[in-house]
Structure 1
């Protein structure tokens, strides 16, 4: 028996498993694939909040070196979202294929001691009050907790009886990896003209990934796709096909908007695409899953060390509203891009440019797309900072807050004495003084704030547990 089984070795599952292993939790990853990380993944954008989470794990700078950065994102027409003003060390969108993210997270998880079992297809999940039993086609496993991070067709979700309500938004989206004769002027090239939509992004190895959609032709996902069809739709949407040639991959898929009602079912949790599916607009799918994992991992580790079980309920109360918000924002973008009438499209562009010129609206829009603007609900009577994202403040020792978070620690930004907690709470003096002391959770959100540290011991008992088990 192990502590936690993570089903799925995509980005969400790998980040979660790496966090748990670093915390000294025995974790096994069950992956139905054979161990090859595919270069045909759909995700290409890594947003600022995700990069902050990776920074707290010592991975962000390595990942940034694999791609290119965009300080602004053009949605359609001349509507752009300026990311350069984000209050983050990463005021941009990183363009890098998903397999680069997976490679880094896999390396970290294995180095921390996570076990991964390939060709392990889950066929059943059963639980009682003390454990969960996971049956694969080859073997049965037992664990205290199970996390289903096994994607849109999640076997874990089906096994625990969670519905996946929602609907298909776009059918027969075309995907192609192609070379181009004419290099696009922009890193991301995207536009929708009513009957057609197209998106181009560099794959990083001389190929470009193309997403294209044709309102006039909705066919099943298994309908054969030709390069001529991709070219024709791209020309309608973008005015040119950039001389596409030498496709190495052509496929179709459909985009759904769905979300499970409950991210927790007893001892089983759902994360990433197993819990929510979004339209590709805004590039938030992989990012939302990684932030699910960052939220859940430290809570599982804390409960296994003695924190109250109710801490795990906050995964639902904190992450379900974020998933719902991403569904709404990405859905609004794709629906705006798909407007058919030229008059409606002209009004769309004018209205959005005017809206984004208002500082409050611009800040909210960039905060949602980048992830840095999300906050979590705080207990009644808590300090206003509780539940907010902690900024990466400079520390008196010359370091930064997100460096101090590495290793899955809580960080107390202040100078309070916390006897009995130094094995899992780092005390760091801020370079700038005068504000309240902050207890920053391992996921970079404020868990407590104030000047009277008398209640800090109680808060830590709720968030971190009080038994004798210690991280490795």
Structure 2
């Protein structure tokens, strides 16, 4: 019997399963698809905080080599957002299709020992005091915990009876993969003119992914779509269709804003699109799901090693507010892009440029968009660093913090007694002496900090589990 069942082999489920397997946790992934990684996924941008999480798993450099770094975004036609000042090793948005992310995460999860069963559509899920039972078309699985990472139409969410409140923001969005005769002026080309919106990004294989929306023609998702309609809307939004031809795929979909009230229900958790969906503006959907997985994985591993069960409740208290914030910010972006009147669009551009001209406001906007600006609530009386994102600092003796995180252990920067937790804590002297001793969680956030280390051992018991014998 596995210790954890993960339903869904998209990016969220694969990162979670890989983390658990590398931590020595028995994990089985149940995936209803047949095993092929789809090239029809919609995500195309990997933000700085997600790249940091992948760096802590030894995958970031590989992914960067497969994509195109974009240091500047242009929104609303003429408003530039410079990402170069991000306090990160990755001061850019990486443009690369989702299937590249999935490929790396799948390879890692399988190498670490995660089991995966394809064609395993979930039919039922139930839980009791000792575990979770998941019934698929292929059989019955039992585990101590389960995670639903099975997307917008999550069977796990429905089995839990969780509502998914929210609404559709945009209906009849056109989606296509096309070849272009002319190169767009930007790596990511995007604009909205009131009655039309279009976005173009390179797919990486000679095709481009196009999103487009026409206020004048909102039809059901199953309505026919041809290339001429896509060309016409793109020309209205971007001034050119860049010689679109040879569409290999055309479809319509709708974009929702929804979030479940509870990310945890007993022994079962929801992550990624099963827990929250947002408008595509800002490209934060896949990124938010991957960061959900990074937050939950180490907590499950720690509880299985004896940490208090209450640690799992912090998944809700830490990640639900982030999901809500992303929902609001992406919603504000898409609504601003859809302003219909010319006067409204002029005001929108003026307000955006004015806001970005204020250094503190610009830094806050970019930090939120990239994910590096989020912090988690800290207990009363905790050091001011607790809950904040740990920056990637050099360590004494060589190497970087995020390299030290790659073995899924906590990293203690400073000197202190960790007897009993040596298998779970990597101890390193800071490259620059001075400052507090800091315990960095496996997800790259500060779990404890202080100048007096007497509080470290109780913190380790809460965060890392029961100590082993010395």
> Per the alignment, in what secondary structure is the counterpart of residue 405 of structure 1?
helix
Match in the other structure for 1:346: 346
Q: Deviations over 1:1-49 (max 9, x none)?
A: 2100000000000000000000000000000000000111110000000
Whole-Å Cα distance in 2 between the matches of residues 383 and 438 of structure 1?
10
1:164 corresponds in structure 2 to: 164
Shift of the alpha carbon at 1:417?
A: 2.6
Secondary structure of 2:407's counterpart equals coil
1:243: Cα distance to partner? 0.5
Contact 2:305 2:466 in 1 (8 A): yes
8 Å contact kept, 1:305–1:469: no
Tell me the SS of whatever aligns to 2:144: strand
Q: 1:395 to 1:467 in 2, by over 3 A?
A: closer
Contact 1:74 1:81 in 2 (8 A): yes
Q: Which residue of 2 aligns with 1:370?
A: 370
Q: Does the 8 Å contact 1:305/1:468 carry over to 2?
A: no
Corresponding residue number in structure 1 for 2:383: 383
Superposition pairs of residues 128-277 of structure 1, within 5 angstroms: 128-277=128-277
RMSD: 1.0
Match of 1:413 in 2: 413
Counterpart check, 1:54 vs 2:54: yes
Distance in 1 (CA, whole Å) between partners of 2:81 and 2:262 is 32
SS at the partner of 1:406? helix
User: Where does structure 1 differ by over 6 angstroms across 4 or more consecutive aligned residues?
Assistant: none
SS at match of 2:3: strand
Cα deviation code 1:59-98 (max 9, x no counterpart):
0000000010000111212112211000000000000010
Counterpart in the other structure of 1:313: 313
> Could you tell me the TM-score, scaled by structure 1's length?
0.99
Rounded to whole Å, the distance in 2 between the matches of 1:15 and 1:289 is 10
Q: Which moved more, 1:460-469 or 1:166-175?
A: 460-469
**TM-superposed deviation, 1:469:** 11
In the other structure, the counterpart of 2:298 is 298
For residue 386 of structure 1, report the CA deviation from its aligned partner. 0.3
- C-alpha contact (below 8 Å) 2:420/2:467 kept by paired residues: no
Instruction: Give the structure 2 partner of residue 328 of structure 1.
Output: 328
SS at match of 2:217: coil
- Structure 2 distance, partners of 1:408, 1:446, is 15
**Structure 2: gaps spanning 5 or more residues:** none
Deviation string 1:321-365 (CA, Å, 9 cap, x unpaired) is 000000000000000000011011001001110101111111110
Matched residues in 1 for 2:272 and 2:191: separation? 27
SS of 1:2 mapped into structure 2: coil
SS for the counterpart of 1:158 is helix
> Tell me, what secondary structure is at the counterpart of 1:62?
helix
**Does the 8 A contact of 2:420 with 2:469 survive in 1?**
no
